[in-house]
Amino acid sequence: MTSESEKGERIAKVLARAGIASRREAERMIAAGRVAVNGRVIDSPALNVTASDRITADGKALAAPERTRLWRYHKPAGLVTSTRDDKGRPTVFGALPETLPRVLSIGRLDLNSEGLLLLTNDGGLKRRLELPATGWTRKYRVRVHGAPDDAALEPLRKGITAQGERFRPMQVRLDRQQGANAWLTIGLREGKNREIRRALAEIGLRVNRLIRISYGPFQLGDLPSGAAEELRPAILRDQLGIAMPDGTAIPRRQARRKRT
């Protein structure tokens, strides 16, 4: 019987886990002839590779997979969440601190939105946390022009159709009125393209500021705009079940609890 290690893994998955690109982007790289296995350029992602295979991408050997890492990033408004933009607009990846390695974004925030964006070096983790099945709520602070009352927001809680697309029920709280604007807190379990803006427009409210304040258990907190902060391995272990690197010390308080 052939073991799983002998069968190997799909090449695109290996490239994604190594942080070269997302799985979909890796498939495009393969189709473009930018990936070689054991010296032979491949043009199809339908290939399993093992640890003994020599893989290169754009002529560079694939490094051994780094441990999974995750960052909080406070995205400013005015940046596109992509590696490059056809319209020449500034991108998140062009604005990241130079100390960060090559990273992938978990989900997106549109051009005019700001707040928490998670970044990782692990394409597999990116895909896992983007899946609707993960079930994590994304919360947003939203400023709208107008003076809605609680009843006006009820269609959002029940699920609303905007421009022919059905959106799932949202968690919606009216926080306060501030002059001609109102502040809302909105929670989603599946963020479709410009979902909040489109849903609010359907009930006659125009969004003029949108800030993501959390993604599942991860909070924006007081992280300054434009800053990135790596999450500790212990947090990845506790929240995602990712093993801590060998030799990582357990904090003293946790160690005491563990002994008891």
Tell me which of 53, 58, 110, 222 is the catalytic residue.
Answer: 110
Question: Closest by alpha carbon to 14, among 73, 64, 68, 89?
Answer: 64
HEC profile for the chain?
CCCHHHHCEEHHHHHHHCCCCCHHHHHHHHHCCCEEECCEECCCCCCEECCCCCEEECCEECCCCCCCCEEEEEECCCCECCCCCCCCCCEHHHHCCCCCCCCEEECCCCCCCEEEEEEECCHHHHHHHHCHHHCCCEEEEEEEECCCCHHHHHHHHHCEEECCEEECCCEEEEEEEECCEEEEEEEECCCCCCHHHHHHHHCCCEEEEEEEEEECCEECCCCCCCCEEECCHHHHHHHHCCCCCCCCCCCHHHHHHHHC
Question: Closest by alpha carbon to 109, among 211, 219, 221?
Answer: 211
**In whole angstroms, what is the distance from residue 21 CA to residue 30 CA?**
11
43 is catalytic: no
**Assigned token pair, 135:** 């079930």
Residues carrying an active site annotation:
110
